[in-house]
Amino acid sequence: MKLIVGLGNIGREYANTRHNIGFMMLNALSEAWDFSFKEESKFKGDLGVAQIGGEKVFFLKPSTYMNLSGEATDKVVNYYSITEENILVVYDDMDLAIGESRFKKKGSSGGQKGMGNIIECLGTKEIPRLKIGIGKRPPERNGKDYVLSAFSNEEQKAVNEVIKRSIDGVLFFIKEGIEKTMNEKNGK
């Protein structure tokens, strides 16, 4: 069993913002792999499930807002007894350029509050993740305004491409785990 968690904020006003790239990724996976999401109040989020490569995979979009994403993740992890190495968290990263992505096996949150809350709630930094670049924040903007801003048309094209490429990376993670995925998919 695997769990893919996409981080974002619920609500139409956040739908196409940089901070919602995790939701965008899960929506692309839903379309590519033909599964749908259902609101699950007991998990504090929208949950999808699919058989991928012979493996049961859950897909979670927390409805707790970004900074409390760990609450929803923890509920699904505990209910289905999913181990850390079988979780993949997808989220935005200001240290990566738009169009770049990187799989990591573990680490700190890097200032990403949703990932920080997941680390806190699960009690470990050993959580695989897929970071998708949203570009560096311009010096004249504060971080919150930047992550809640929409992509330009040109940026959105690069985002669509990295999401399209990342579908294959997520499939590779499901089949092979994080070590092989990092070796095979990072820097490509």
> For the chain, which domains are there?
2-185 (3.40.50.1470)
Token duo for residue 86? 């079988």
Give the per-residue pLDDT at 121.
97
CB 90 within 8 A of CB 7: yes
Q: What gap in Å lies between CA 180 and CA 172, rounded to an integer? A: 8
Report mean pLDDT in 10-residue bins for the chain, 188 residues: 96 90 97 96 97 94 94 97 97 93 94 94 97 84 83 93 96 96 86
Closest CA to 55 of 179, 169, 176, 174: 174
Give the per-residue pLDDT at 146.
87
Task: Give me the amino acid identity at 146.
Answer: Y
Give the per-residue pLDDT at 77.
98
Q: What gap in Å lies between CA 12 and CA 3, rounded to an integer? A: 25
Closest CA to 72 of 125, 124, 149, 3: 3
Q: Which residues form the catalytic set?
A: 19
Give the per-residue pLDDT at 132.
96
* Strands ordered across the beta sheet of 101-104: 38-40, 45-52, 55-62, 2-6, 87-93, 129-133, 101-104
Q: What are residue 102's DSSP bridge partners?
A: 131
Give the per-residue pLDDT at 53.
84
Give the per-residue pLDDT at 111.
86
Residues near 172 by beta carbon (within 8 Å), at least 6 away in sequence? 180, 181, 184, 185
Give the per-residue pLDDT at 144.
81
Is 29 exposed, middle or buried (CB count within 10 Å of its CB: 0-12, 13-18, 19+)?
buried
Q: What gap in Å lies between CA 172 and CA 166, rounded to an integer? A: 10
Give the per-residue pLDDT at 188.
56
Q: What gap in Å lies between CA 81 and CA 57, rounded to an integer? A: 13
